[in-house]
Structure 1
Amino acid sequence: MFCPASFWPLFRLRGAIASAAFSVPVSPSCYCSDLPIFFTCSFHRLTLVPFTARILVRLTLPPSQNMSSTSESQGVALITGSSQGIGRAIAFRLARDGFDIALNDVSAKTGKLKETRKTIEEETGRRVIVCVADISAEEEVKGMVATVVKDLGGLDVMVANAGICPCGPLNDVTIDAWDHTFSINARGTFLCYKYASLQMIAQGRGGRIIGASSAAGKKGYELMGIYCSTKFAVRGLTQAAALEYGKHGITVNAYCPGAIDTDMSRKAAEELGGSGSSDAAFNAYKEKAAVGRFGSTDDVANLVSFFASKESGFVTGQSIIVDGGVCFD
């Protein structure tokens, strides 16, 4: 005997389904989906007859994630000197490209590293770790690479970005200042190349090694003799490493920034200008630039993004200027 009351739960179910709203962390948008639901009744049995319930599916995303967090990782990238300036911009760009990120700098900049890690995680959803290490110390570089492999599962891109830029007359340079600058800019880059390549060779899937040279590594500049010397060294190291590591599927390239608007560049401009005004020096530079402006950290990060990508697989041993058309090879 037909008893409508006995089927009341089914009708309540239909109503609940038709009005339901689900929160699914996928992407920052929403859409309606027509989903088929099957039920009705007769006197003797439950008969399945399709009808469509229109369900609003809210696709909301926690603020700490975006689409890159749900995409497949492009690999693991380690960027030295990444608490600020060019290194920080490179870390953000590679995270947006889909890489998981290892941030490095010296212990005095731990606070900035942690702030950078938090911001990258919130904006991109990628995995990010902090590796405090002095790149001029071999055991610390070796340990840094080991930490990256342990925490992130490997190493695919090494960006040896860290460096310093002392300025002044050559005859005023002390042996200690010479050795200190070379220990960071040249030895540090060499150690990053060495231990990154050893890991990449062991992994057997190739990799990308990218170093920081400079427009001052292409041409000597007055009052920048010690800095120029270290950046010329990075160019030579990059070319030799490209020849040695190529058979393992590892490319090695360098970026050569000109006057990029960073704290380090402004400090150097003030030291070279003698007037304490970096704005005057940068404006004079801008007048010479073919593109009519001085560079941003994103301009450098864009080139590094290419070097780190699969599309750069046939480019190695290069040192490319990011300079706006003031300094050419």
Structure 2
Amino acid sequence: MIREVVAQLWNRRAGYREGCRGLQLLSDFPELQHGATLPHCGRRHIQITHRFTTDWFTAYEEICMSITGKVVLVTGAGQGIGRGIALRLAHDGADIALVDLDQTKLDAVADEIRQIGRRATTFIADVSDRAQVHAAVEHAHSELSGFDVIVNNAGIALVGPISDATPEEVSKIWSVNVDGVLWGIQAAAAKFQALGQRGKIINASSIAGHDGFAMLGVYSATKFAVRALTQAAAKEYASDGITVNAYCPGVVGTDMWVTIDKRFAELTGAPEGATYEKFVGGIALGRAETPDDVAGFVSYLAGPDSDYMTGQAGLIDGGLVYR
């Protein structure tokens, strides 16, 4: 049986006051039972899924210095980096709203998340459509009884010389890579404001958002634009307690990079795989990136350790672009 609260965290660990707003400590940790409910920790009630030690600070760290119990929406979650992010956040204790265009892929990722022991819900949406993105946020909140973080991950690539870019190609990539992020920022911020709570917005930029690459000029422009939106939104929403940051992957071994490599081969006559190997050869750490490499940084951005960080675009590329 849980005996109710005896001490305020503020007076015992001043350095962590803002990380765990309103946490009230239970008086006798050995009496905490599996499945009990812990009073609020700056978000909703959190269910205890394991027995704590008698150390109150250990209990605090296990609950409040994590993303346990948070609800996170991830776009482009059916494969690649998006799938990696969704699974990592689920492993770290979050419940995930998965958004993409392919229901079969979404269902597969949702099953993986449920096997981890977290909740998952799916929603089909084209991120270039503002109404669909807003509907996805509402769905996440309704189905998972909360909304704490959005990861605007969905994106597409365009390979080719600037001289050959068509209005249709530019419109398509811009609508997904930039408009999709813009609508996600709008929808998430509006929901956080309506709920009267803080929140985190995390956007997908790229190394191409720090360094314009030849044959990837239009794609690079979209990723520079994401950085600009991230900085502007960080300034606009700071007073609401909403942080806005971006992650900038490099050469990740996903289907997108397979497509990029094949397109380079078509345009330059290089053998398939040569462009990929050339980029990987320039990485200081000597290997290609994995979705897990990206997901670890996104988990940091989603959690309380990044609470004092906003408007930033972090490079996770193994040492390829230096800024």
TM-score normalised according to structure 2 size: 0.77
Matches of 1:142 and 1:205 in 2, distance apart?
18
CA contact (8 A) 2:257 2:276 kept: no
CA contact (8 A) 1:99 1:126 kept: yes
Matched AA of 1:139: A
Please name the residue that 2:173 is paired with. Answer: 181
- The Cα of 1:126 is off from its aligned counterpart by 0.5
CA contact (8 A) 1:239 1:318 kept: yes
Please name the residue that 1:120 is paired with. Answer: 113
- 3-state DSSP of counterpart to 1:151: helix
CA contact (8 A) 2:251 2:280 kept: no
- 1:166-315 equivalences in 2 (<5 Å): 166-274=158-266, 275=269, 277-315=271-309
CA contact (8 A) 1:270 1:276 kept: no
- The Cα of 1:301 is off from its aligned counterpart by 0.3
- When the two chains are superposed, the root-mean-square deviation of aligned CA atoms in Å is 1.7
TM-score normalised according to structure 1 size: 0.76
**1:70 paired to 2:49:** yes
CA contact (8 A) 1:260 1:297 kept: yes
- The Cα of 1:286 is off from its aligned counterpart by 2.8
Matches of 1:155 and 1:328 in 2, distance apart?
34
- The Cα of 1:276 is off from its aligned counterpart by 6.9
Please name the residue that 1:105 is paired with. Answer: 100
> Relative to structure 2, which stretch is displaced further, 184-193 or 270-279?
270-279
Identity of aligned residues (%): 42
Matches of 1:200 and 1:289 in 2, distance apart?
39
CA contact (8 A) 1:267 1:278 kept: no
Count how many residue pairs are aligned between Structure 1 and Structure 2: 260
Residue 150 and residue 228 in structure 1: after superposition, are their counterparts in 2 closer, same or farther (change >3 A)? same
After the TM superposition, list the runs of 4 or more consecutive aligned residues in structure 1 that deviate by more than 6 angstroms: none
In our comparison, the structure showing a higher alpha carbon Rg is 1
Please name the residue that 1:96 is paired with. Answer: 91
CA contact (8 A) 1:166 1:227 kept: yes
Matches of 2:315 and 2:303 in 1, distance apart?
18
Matches of 2:209 and 2:189 in 1, distance apart?
23
Q: Which residue of the other structure, out of 78, 99, 119, is the alignment partner of 1:83?
A: 78
CA contact (8 A) 1:69 1:125 kept: no
Please name the residue that 1:27 is paired with. Answer: none
Matches of 1:119 and 1:265 in 2, distance apart?
24
- The Cα of 1:69 is off from its aligned counterpart by 8.8
Residue 276 and residue 149 in structure 1: after superposition, are their counterparts in 2 closer, same or farther (change >3 A)? farther
- The Cα of 1:265 is off from its aligned counterpart by 1.2
Residue 96 and residue 278 in structure 1: after superposition, are their counterparts in 2 closer, same or farther (change >3 A)? farther
CA contact (8 A) 2:207 2:315 kept: yes
